[in-house]
Structure 1
Amino acid sequence: MSDIGPGGGDPRFVWGAGPAAPFAPPAAQPTFLPPHGGPPAPRHGTVRVVVVSVLVGLLLAAFLSWRSGGPWGDPAPTAGREEAEQPLGVPPTVEQPNGSYTFMAVQDDGLTPVAYDPCRPVHYVVRAEGEPAGGRQMITEAFLRLSQTTGLVFVDDGETTETVLAERASFQPDLYGDRWAPVLVAWSDQGEVADLSGDVAGLGGSVPMRFGDGPAVYVTGQVVLDAPAFTQAMAVPGGGPVARAIVLHELAHVVGLGHVDDPAELMYPYAGRADLGAGDLTGLALLGAGACVPQL
């Protein structure tokens, strides 16, 4: 079993740049490998907002062995926990497919996205300390929307006191038992997480693993949301829809969507849309059709 490290892309998301708000393009345009082949797609690398895989995948060397222990000495859980014989849900048919989407990571073929195993539920926990009014509802609604658009089954395991760590272990038996750690959604601030500064609304991403030469799948993830910034946004007219959109945007990163250079999509790195666009929906449906890997 191998931890294949962080996926491609480094999407970032800007507060307060709604449809009518002007914005300045970033000074630099780094590139990343797109999921569909062809030339690299632009991404916004200088705006301080969301760093995709940084919190959960950064510093992980590629192909670390999980047979003798994880990257920080943690063994892997018993393989196949909660694995069903077939996917628990089916992604919806997209009536108007749109190619305006990217993936956080792709398989060795350079095309197929890395995704969560659809034959088992994706558990999540919430660290509620500092949670703004309405914060839990935004999280619940975002996971429901992702379930509707991917067919994946998300299970709310309640609250946790887990500490936010960039080097978060994917297997924490003392805290969560013999299973992959659930996705962590934590409210925080820049005093705890220095990357939550300026216009940074949150950090998020997922950790992909593979068994032998099999396909990579995500086994857990993490999202950190800037609680003071959300509290402030919710207090101004029109701030509620923007805050809800950012939570959905961040959790869409967790299930595997990357940024796009298209303002018609929620995965555009500037606040604007309140819901998923046609490209977002197309990419999410593909992410719901990932491989079932009972060996993990």
Structure 2
Amino acid sequence: MRDEDGPEPRSGLPTSPSGRTPQWVVDEALGLPVRPVPWRAAEPPPRRRRGSGLLGLLAVLLVVGGSLGAALLTGTVQWPWDRVVAADPAPGAGVPVAAAPSDRPTPGVDASGSPRGVPQPVPEGGGPHAFSLLQADGTTPVAYDPCRVVRYVVRPDESPTGGEEMVHAAVARLGRATGLVFVYDGPTDEVPSLERAAYQPDRYGDRWAPVLVSWRTAAEAPGLAGDTVGEAGSLAVSLGEGARVYVTGTVTLDAEQFPEILAQPGGAATASGVVLHELAHLVGLDHVDDDSQLLYPETVPGVTDYAAGDLAGLARLGQGPCVPEL
């Protein structure tokens, strides 16, 4: 990594046409081939450039996707929950008793009769935003159920100094923007996996597995190889032809490269912006072409918090359908 006065770039990293090294690619690919995307010009527009030695030359490519696998994230997961599986009736009983499903929690766990929160007001006029996955009507975004809490856990292993606090602050910011209620369930020793089960009663009890936030190295998570610093995504499920709902997800952050970001002048704000960007993908936002938005595919100096378009999209994602049957 390098700026005008910085050290020489590390070998093996791609360089821009001017010879500068783009930094911290966030590849949230779904296990599919990543489309080549050219780097932005090394020199940012003057209105956004910071002084030499700051992060004005930082170029971060943010590729949309998720971390749970393409098949799970790009369409409805038709789990056979609409089937009634009858257990053997109890002696003397006249009606068979439906067996409790083993692949999902008891319906309605954590659910309330109405949305638990209200999204913050959207700036007048809103702004550009896009969604990762739509319902069958082609216009309504798939979202988390606003009538239940969204639980999350953090795997603290290899977290950089201040990393957990940064995650909690970003989750709180996301909660204000969406109106979704996030509840921290504490630390976990669960190791992230592409085959992660959405229902883990032995570990987390009779509820959907919480969102898993973890810090990993490229050796542990091949998706973080090279310049990649994070992956995020959620799992959408449905009952038959019913509405699709996100029930859990993962956010994986690079334990080796985040300290490098944080060490840069102004790096705390940039790192926070990357986490906010990832969390927005977690709840269903996609990229936009407007570089004034945090969901623009590259970091832009000074854009480290949700902008008007991001907030408009997050507000819609906080008003998804309530599906107590799940």
**TM-score band, normalised by shorter chain:** 0.7 to 0.9
Moved more, 83-92 or 121-130: 83-92
Name 2:135's counterpart in structure 1. 107
Following superposition, the deviation at residue 174 of structure 1 comes to 1.2
Secondary structure, in 3 states, of the residue corresponding to 1:206? strand
CA distance in 2 between counterparts of 1:177 and 1:251 reads 24
Q: Is the 8 A contact 2:64 2:286 kept in 1?
A: no
- TM-score between the two structures when normalised by the length of structure 2: 0.74
In the TM superposition, 1:35-74 aligns within 5 A as: 50=63, 52-53=65-66, 55-60=67-72, 62-67=76-81
Q: Is the 8 A contact 1:66 1:75 kept in 2?
A: no
In the TM superposition, 1:148-159 aligns within 5 A as: 148-159=176-187
Name 2:103's counterpart in structure 1. 75
Q: Which letter does structure 2 place at the counterpart of 1:160?
A: T
Name 1:141's counterpart in structure 2. 169
Larger gyration radius, structure 1 or structure 2: 2
Q: Which letter does structure 2 place at the counterpart of 1:52?
A: G
CA distance in 1 between counterparts of 2:312 and 2:280 reads 12
Name 1:41's counterpart in structure 2. none
Unaligned regions of 5+ residues in structure 1, if any?
A: 1-5, 25-46
Following superposition, the deviation at residue 168 of structure 1 comes to 1.1
Q: What per-residue deviation string (whole Å, max 9, x for no partner) do you get for residues 106-136 of structure 1?
A: 1111111100000000000001100001101
Q: Which letter does structure 2 place at the counterpart of 1:288?
A: G
Equivalent of residue 242 in structure 1, options 270, 283, 287: 270
Q: Which letter does structure 2 place at the counterpart of 1:132?
A: P
Following superposition, the deviation at residue 22 of structure 1 comes to 5.7
1:252 matches 2:249 = no
Higher relative contact order, chain-length normalized (CA < 8 Å, sep 6+): 1
Secondary structure, in 3 states, of the residue corresponding to 1:131? coil
Following superposition, the deviation at residue 261 of structure 1 comes to 1.2
CA distance in 1 between counterparts of 2:306 and 2:158 reads 27
Secondary structure, in 3 states, of the residue corresponding to 2:222? coil
How many residues were matched structurally?
259
Q: Which letter does structure 1 place at the counterpart of 2:68?
A: V
Q: What's the C-alpha RMSD, in Å, of the aligned pairs?
A: 2.5
Name 2:316's counterpart in structure 1. 286
Following superposition, the deviation at residue 51 of structure 1 comes to 5.1
Name 2:229's counterpart in structure 1. 201
1:178 matches 2:190 = no
Name 2:306's counterpart in structure 1. 276
Q: Is the 8 A contact 2:62 2:298 kept in 1?
A: no
1:162 matches 2:190 = yes
Q: 1:180 to 1:229 in 2, by over 3 A?
A: same
Following superposition, the deviation at residue 23 of structure 1 comes to 8.1
Percent of counterpart pairs with the same letter? 47
Unaligned regions of 5+ residues in structure 2, if any?
A: 1-29, 50-55, 84-100
CA distance in 1 between counterparts of 2:217 and 2:61 reads 14
Secondary structure, in 3 states, of the residue corresponding to 2:270? helix
Following superposition, the deviation at residue 286 of structure 1 comes to 0.5
Q: Is the 8 A contact 1:17 1:23 kept in 2?
A: no
Secondary structure, in 3 states, of the residue corresponding to 2:314? helix
Equivalent of residue 118 in structure 2, options 85, 90, 111: 90
- TM-score between the two structures when normalised by the length of structure 1: 0.81
Following superposition, the deviation at residue 62 of structure 1 comes to 4.9
CA distance in 2 between counterparts of 1:281 and 1:82 reads 26
CA distance in 1 between counterparts of 2:227 and 2:124 reads 33
Following superposition, the deviation at residue 99 of structure 1 comes to 3.8
Q: 1:265 to 1:251 in 2, by over 3 A?
A: same
Q: Is the 8 A contact 1:48 1:198 kept in 2?
A: no
CA distance in 2 between counterparts of 1:236 and 1:187 reads 19
Name 2:325's counterpart in structure 1. 295
Following superposition, the deviation at residue 259 of structure 1 comes to 0.9
Secondary structure, in 3 states, of the residue corresponding to 2:316? helix
Secondary structure, in 3 states, of the residue corresponding to 2:261? helix
Following superposition, the deviation at residue 173 of structure 1 comes to 1.0
Q: Which letter does structure 2 place at the counterpart of 1:225?
A: L
Q: 1:62 to 1:117 in 2, by over 3 A?
A: closer
Q: Which runs of 4+ in 1 moved over 6 A?
A: none
CA distance in 1 between counterparts of 2:245 and 2:103 reads 18
Q: 1:288 to 1:62 in 2, by over 3 A?
A: closer
Q: Which letter does structure 2 place at the counterpart of 1:258?
A: D
